[in-house]
């Protein structure tokens, strides 16, 4: 491989065995959507401020895709780890989960290409990113899983006729594949791709565009996100963000500005929040 493909970064921690990769597994919860009304509502306990409680009546919910609708980060990590090692990144030392979370997760491909390969021709660096996305799409059909409680939440949203959009930094082929595998292609009337906006996340442009297209007010909308980059984008758009701790550390998400952290879509804190915000009058979907 050309020397341009072998930058050396200060990654001196040996990678964990494959059996220990992504060891932070999700916990399940016994609280069900059918019992939402019975979940105690304590907004002081579920939010660090009154931001979320002021959203009532709830009008819309915006969703990131990777790591939010589905637990896709392990697939991305394996694809990056394999291809970076093949091209001699960090002198052939495999990247660790910690490096992936801190430097890659939630990033836009154009930014990642520049960060991972600062001395490489940008077109060549983007070819690497394209190859990585192709490997992801090859692996996803056998490995992609919905985050627990997702489909129950979607039914709740449809029942209340809430507006919604999917907003992602993923390339359009990836985003459309994931929505198809999850059975949610028709659920989202709007799909916003970061690279198709003037600026991708962590800038607010993708979320601002989503609000415009579904005609929703940021004062009655919140966002589901799992990465610091995405949370910063939502906060910059003046929309409260609920962070999913599917893979990234709680502190990272809190420091980025998340108003509430949940483990998955069955988390009692989420059910309490939605019970508090539940619309009394359905809003028509555009």
* Residues carrying an active site annotation: 64, 66
Number of H helices, E strands in the chain: 11, 6
Query: b vs e for 114-141, b when ≥16 Cβ sit within 10 Å of the residue's Cβ?
Result: eebbeebeeeebbebbeebbebbeebbe
Quick one: residue 118, left, alpha or beta (phi over 0 = left, psi -120 to 50 = alpha)?
alpha
**Residue 105 contacts residue 248 (beta carbons within 8 Å):** yes
β-partners of residue 61 are 164, 222
* Cβ neighbours of residue 277 closer than 8 Å, sequence gap 6 or more: 52, 53, 55, 56, 57, 58
Tell me how far CA of residue 106 lies from CA of 47, 50, 53, 190, 211, in angstroms: 24, 27, 27, 20, 21
**Which three-class secondary structure state does DSSP give residue 136?**
helix
Cα diameter, the chain: 62
CA dihedral sign, ordered 271, 273, 277, 282: negative
* Helix, strand, coil percent content, the chain, rounded in steps of 5: 50, 10, 40
């Amino acid at each position: 491989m050309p020397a341009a493909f072998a930058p050396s970064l200060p990654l001196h921690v040996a990678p964990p065995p494959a059996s220990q990769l992504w060891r932070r597994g999700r916990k399940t919860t016994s609280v069900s959507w059918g019992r939402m009304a019975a979940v105690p509502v304590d907004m002081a306990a579920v939010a660090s401020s009154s931001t979320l409680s002021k959203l009532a009546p709830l009008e819309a919910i915006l969703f990131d895709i990777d790591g939010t609708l589905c637990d896709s980060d392990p697939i991305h990590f394996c694809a990056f780890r394999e291809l970076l090692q093949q091209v001699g990144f960090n002198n052939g030392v495999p990247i660790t989960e910690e490096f992936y979370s801190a430097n890659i997760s939630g990033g836009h491909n154009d930014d990642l290409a520049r960060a991972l390969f600062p001395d490489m021709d940008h077109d060549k660096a983007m070819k690497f990113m394209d190859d990585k996305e192709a490997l992801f799409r090859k692996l996803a059909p056998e490995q992609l899983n919905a985050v627990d409680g997702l489909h129950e939440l979607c039914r709740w949203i449809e029942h209340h006729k809430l507006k919604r959009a999917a907003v992602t930094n993923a390339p359009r082929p990836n985003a459309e594949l994931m929505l198809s595998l999850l059975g949610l292609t028709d659920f989202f009337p709007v799909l916003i791709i970061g690279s198709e906006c003037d600026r991708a996340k962590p800038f607010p442009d993708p979320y601002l565009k989503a609000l415009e297209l579904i005609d929703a007010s940021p004062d009655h909308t919140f966002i589901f996100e799992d990465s610091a980059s995405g949370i910063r984008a939502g906060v910059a758009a003046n929309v409260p963000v609920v962070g999913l701790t599917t893979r990234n550390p709680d502190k990272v998400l809190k420091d980025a500005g998340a108003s509430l952290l949940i483990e998955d879509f069955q988390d009692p804190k989420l059910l309490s929040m939605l019970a508090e915000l539940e619309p009394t009058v359905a809003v028509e979907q555009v």
